[in-house]
Chain A
Amino acid sequence: MQEQERESNKALDGLLRPELALELIDVALVWCDNQGSLVWCNRSFEELIERAREEIVGHCIHDMIFNDKEGEGYRLKMKDGSIRHLEIHQKKTKEVDEDGDFTLYSIRDVTAKREAELSSQKANAFINILLENIPDMVFVKDAKDLKFVRLNKAAEEIIGQSRDRLYGKTDYDFFSKEAADFFTAKDREVLSSGKILDIPEEEIVSKTLGKRYLHTKKVPINDSNGAPEYLLGISEDITKKRRIEELRLQLKEEEISRKEAEKGLKTREDFISIAAHELRTPITPLKMQLEFIPEYLKGAKFPHREEALALLEKSRKQLDAFILLVDKLLDLSRITSGRLSLSLEKTDLKTPINSVIDKMEYELSRAGSKLDLELEDNVIGLFDPTRIEQVLSNLLGNAIKFGGGKPIKLSLKKRGSNAQITIEDNGIGIPIDKQKLIFQVYERAASNKRFPGLGVGLYVSKEIVSAHHGLITVESEPGKGSCFQITMPLSVDEFGAK
């Protein structure tokens, strides 16, 4: 190596200083005549092209250096097949003592620089694609005037403006003053503190999307001297998330209030059940005592005997009415807790109907309502006669209560495989808007003052008819009267249920 160097340095001996400089400069230099033929080159060119001067003198420069591809610039193919990229400056010179023009080419190998540029371009392109496609809004503002200098697609969408309209503008150009003041204050805070700021929730009004909620991070970017240069903002649109969270909270609240309502309902049901059973306990001995006292008094003589016995009889009747009320409450608690059970037996529906009419004879005559009966024979099926009696007693009781003393029609018919019982009065009727409600528990169509009641009779009746797989319906015209109709299947269905 040292030998070689000494050898080559020997070749430089005797050169004039300017010539020596031309040989030693690290820029490759080539002189060509006006035909493009190489006249002289320096050592840098020899090294670059990997050939000795003697080999190439007289050859056309364009056979050694190519410029045949758009955008690729000058290139040189090396012996090993690799390509070097060149930067070439050329200058035409006039040689006074020679014929024609000469061209001086100064050539630099820029392969490394070019590769670095390319890879940096590639990295930039990658970052650009990344930036454009992340769903969060990314924006960059100039630290001096807070004008937008860079935005991504998500930012365009959220702000509702294309980036051409945004570049060079500030927040004041498309947000309300109030909003822009807020954003600017935060920007300044970040730039002056030099610290990243996290804004968990801020509100913007988008031109296209309306009110949006953003979770924003603001990052200061300093120049090489540490002075603020840019402000980077990254905002996640949390409008949807926020709505979902709101809905979740709302649902949770609804769930809580529903559970509370259910608990309240359960408490009420439990209370009714307990109250009804508690009320019943003293009723049993009370009823027996009231019934038994006349036994003791039989044949006894004492003042006001008849009056006393009449009072006892009245008390007994009142107690029976009280027992009916307690039974209603018990039925209600049985139904609401799903404990209503039927004792089905082969029943001619005439039997419970007649039994109810017997029991209500006194009330009918007191109300002055005439009862028209239209009862078909042999309407026989599987029913719980006690429960059917209860339903009829409710409906007939209502017809008497609300019938205004006008005639009441009760009919029993066989319609195909169904039994149909109709009770029709000519009384005050039921307002249309109340007709759907009357079969619900505690609902009453009539005022409590004029027509007192628990509001459970029709509900219990409907449940009893349902338990028989039947249907109870009402037709009514206010002021003209009401017609209740019960339809129940006579036979047992294929599943063995009624």
Chain B
Amino acid sequence: MSEITKRCDSTSKTVLIVEDNTDIREMLKMALEYRGYKVYEAENGQKGLEALSKLKAPCLILLDLMMPVMNGWEFMEALREDMTLLTIPIVVVTAYSEKANSLSDKTEGIIKKPIDLKKLYQSVDDWCGSLHEA
């Protein structure tokens, strides 16, 4: 596990999902809750920032890129300006693998859509520490 993982609040095991597609967002929530994570949802970057201002920092943000109001790139820019939020690991979930490639230094990982459930679990478990192993 990397240092960033250690900075996570190990007791919360909270994941923030920022995704505009309701079906995908609900399915992600269902899958992660089933695995024992507490999940917060936001339908765009703006809502994501609002959620972060009210919540304890989650151990991971799953971030879509193409969203209305505030897209994934703008959301990441906004996080950079807030020292408390800067350290939260972000995994980008996107269909645009080419566009996401350029983000590799700003994110902790990229999950390509359509999402492979095993890869999703692996990624979330990596950054938040598996509840199953605990």
- Whether B98 sits at the interface, judged by CB under 8 Å, is yes
A266-299 contacts to B, CB under 8 A, are: 277, 280-289, 291-292, 295-296
Contact present for B24 and A288 (CB under 8 Å): yes
B41 CB, nearest partner CB in chain A, Å = 14
Query: At the interface, yes or no: A343 with Cβ under 8 Å from chain B?
Result: yes
Chain B residues with Cβ below 8 Å from A296 are 34
B2-33 CB contacts (< 8 Å) to partner A: 21, 23-24, 26-28, 30-31
Residue of A nearest to B117 (CB): A291
A287: chain B residues within 8 A (beta carbon): 114-116
Specify which chain A residues have a CB less than 8 angstroms from the CB of B38 in the assembled complex. none
| Contact call A292/B117, Cβ cutoff below 8 A | yes
Bound CA span A58–B28, Å: 146
Query: Of A280, A285, A287, A289, which is in contact with the most chain B CB atoms at under 10 Å from its CB?
Result: A285
Asked whether, in the complex, the Cβ of B28 is within 8 Å of the Cβ of A288, the reply is yes
Contacts of B21 in A (CB 8 A): 281, 284-285
State whether the Cβ of B80 lies closer than 8 Å to any Cβ in chain A: no
For the complex of A and B, list the 7 residue pairs with the smallest distance between their C-beta atoms, beginning with the closest: A285-B23, A291-B117, A287-B114, A288-B27, A284-B114, A284-B113, A285-B27
Taken together as a complex, chains A and B put the C-alpha atoms of A212 and B113 apart, in Å, by: 70
Q: Tell me the chain B residues, 32-54 only, with Cβ under 8 Å from chain A.
A: 34
The reply to whether B101 and A284 contact each other, CB–CB distance below 8 Å, is: no
Chain A contact residues, CB within 8 Å of chain B: 277, 280-289, 291-292, 295-296, 323, 334, 339, 341, 343
B114-A292 in contact (CB<8A): no
- Contacting residues, chain A, for B116 (C-beta < 8 A): 287, 291
**Which B residues lie within 8 Å of A283 (CB)?**
113-114
Choose among B26, B98, B113, B114 the residue with the greatest number of A CB atoms under 10 Å from its CB. B114
Per DSSP, are chain A's interface residues mostly helix, strand or loop, or mixed? helix
> Are A280 and B114 in contact, with the CB atoms below 8 A?
yes
Name the one of B24, B30, B98, B118 contacting A284, with C-beta atoms under 8 angstroms.
B24
The answer, yes or no, to whether B70 is at the interface (CB within 8 Å) is no
Residues on A with C-beta less than 8 A from B117 are 288, 291-292, 295
B115 contacts across to A, CB distance below 8 A: 284, 287-288
Within the complex, the shortest CB–CB distance from B64 to chain A, in Å, comes to 10
Chain B residues within 8 Å of A284, by CB: 21, 23-24, 95, 113-115
Contacts of A277 in B (CB 8 A): 95
Q: Which residues of chain A are within 8 angstroms of B26 by Cβ–Cβ distance?
A: 285
A-B contact list, 17 entries, CB within 8 Å: A277-B95, A280-B113, A282-B23, A284-B23, A284-B24, A284-B114, A285-B23, A286-B114, A288-B117, A292-B30, A292-B31, A292-B34, A292-B117, A296-B34, A323-B114, A339-B98, A341-B98
* Cβ contacts under 8 Å, A341 to chain B: 98, 101
**In angstroms, how far is the closest chain B Cβ from the Cβ of A280?**
6
Residue of B nearest to A280 (CB): B95
A208 to B31, CA, bound (A): 90
Question: What number of A-B contacts does a CB cutoff of 8 Å give?
Answer: 51
Chain A residues in 8 Å Cβ range of B98: 334, 339, 341
In angstroms, how far is the closest chain B Cβ from the Cβ of A125? 83
10 more CB-based (< 8 A) A-B contacts, given A292-B30, A295-B34: A285-B24, A285-B26, A287-B114, A288-B28, A289-B27, A291-B118, A292-B31, A323-B114, A339-B98, A341-B98
- Please measure, in the bound complex, the distance between the C-alpha atom of A287 and the C-alpha atom of B112, giving whole angstroms: 12
Q: How far is the CA of A85 from the CA of B37 in the complex (A)?
A: 132
Q: Nearest CB to that of B34 among chain A residues?
A: A295
Cα distance, A283 to B28, chains bound together (Å): 14
Report the separation of the CA atoms of residues A286 and B31 in the bound assembly, to the nearest whole angstrom.
13
| List of A residues within 8 angstroms of B27 by Cβ | 285, 288-289, 292
Q: Give A264 Cβ to nearest chain B Cβ, in Å.
A: 27
Mark out the residues of chain B between 76 and 134 whose CB falls within 8 Å of any chain A CB in the assembled complex. 95, 98, 101, 113-118, 120
Cα A280 to Cα B115 in complex, Å, equals 11
Q: How far is the CA of A135 from the CA of B128 in the complex (A)?
A: 93
Distance between A167 CB and nearest chain B CB, rounded to angstroms: 83
Minimum C-beta distance from B32 to chain A (A): 11
Please name the residue on chain B nearest to A285 by beta carbon: B23
Closest to A341 in B: B98
| Beta-carbon nearest neighbor of B66 in chain A | A277
A361 → B minimal CB distance (Å)? 19
What's the nearest-Cβ distance from chain A to residue B120, in Å?
8
A288 and B24 alpha carbons, distance in the complex (Å):
8
Query: What chain A residues lie within 8 Å of B23 (beta carbons)?
Result: 282, 284-285
Most chain B CB within 10 A, of A288, A291, A292, is at: A288
Bound form: Cα–Cα A341–B99 in Å: 10
In the docked arrangement, what's the CA distance between A292 and B101, Å? 28
The complex places the Cα of A359 from the Cα of B26 at a distance, in Å, of 31
Q: Which B residues lie within 8 Å of A289 (CB)?
A: 27
For residue B22, which residue of chain A has the nearest CB? A285
Complex Cα–Cα for A215 and B11 (A): 98
Of all chain B residues, which has the CB nearest A295? B34
Task: Quote the shortest CB–CB distance from B19 to chain A (angstroms).
Answer: 10
- State the CA gap A412–B5 with chains docked (Å): 42
Residues of A within 8 A of B95 (CB): 277, 280, 284
CB distance from B90 to the nearest CB of A (A): 19
Least CB separation from A316: chain B residue: B117
- Please, which residues of chain A bring their CB within 8 A of the CB of B114? 280, 283-284, 286-288, 323
The docked-state distance in angstroms from the alpha carbon of A289 to that of B31 is 9
